[in-house]
Amino acid sequence: MCILLNSNEDLLFSGTMEDKHDNYVIALSLNQSETQLVSCASSDKLIIILEKREYDEFEFKYFVKQTISDFGFKIKFIKDNQFIGQLVVKKQLISLYLNQKKDNFKKIKRIQLNNQILNYYSFPLVYNKERNLIVVIYKTYFDIIREMNQGKFKIVDQLNCETFRIFGIIANNGQYLVYWDEKNEGYSTQELFNN
């Protein structure tokens, strides 16, 4: 259901059922220093953290049970010790951070997003560090989110594609959103705000 390549392109991670999850792994993300790997699975109330050991081997480190009310289907590190995730049913974006003293993750923010129907695999959870942008898709909308002061998050823009079938990504520089949608039966490019 998902694969992930490290920045040196010499390690490939693949999500399967052959690990500590009870169902298919559908999202993987490495932190910026590539020392931790986070995963979430379909119909599974767990987020799992693996940590890099010797010889580029990753070993189980934590379960994060308390973070999932139904199950997570998208997850993304945005800092070395902070990741965000999207939860099914409750329709929330949750930011978590690692509490180094207690060896667990803790919630720091929930954002209630505006729409209801989930687009499971058609658009990844995207974070662009340069422009401090998070792009999330729900129902027919792209929500553009920014981390504000003191770890608070805010939806700063929204784009309605007027169809549920949307596939796409943002450019590496975070300036453009490129997507295909069923209504237009073609590709569109949207410049994201400049401020």
**Tokens (6 digits) for 30:** 């490495």
Q: Are residues 106 and 29 in the same domain?
A: yes
Rounded Cα distance, 10 and 133, in Å: 28
Q: Are residues 96 and 17 in the same domain?
A: yes
Q: Which DSSP state fits 23? A: S
The tens digit of pLDDT for each residue in 68-96 reads: 555 667 888 988 888 887 766 556 666 66
Q: Domain with 30 in it: what CATH number?
A: 2.130.10.10
Q: Are residues 12 and 101 in the same domain?
A: yes
Q: Are residues 170 and 142 in the same domain?
A: yes
The tens digit of pLDDT for each residue in 121-161 reads: 577 788 998 898 988 887 788 888 888 887 778 888 888 88
What is the extent of the structural domain holding 179? 115-195
pTM here? 0.81
Total count of domains within the chain: 2
Q: Are residues 126 and 162 in the same domain?
A: yes
Q: Which amino acid is at 19?
A: D
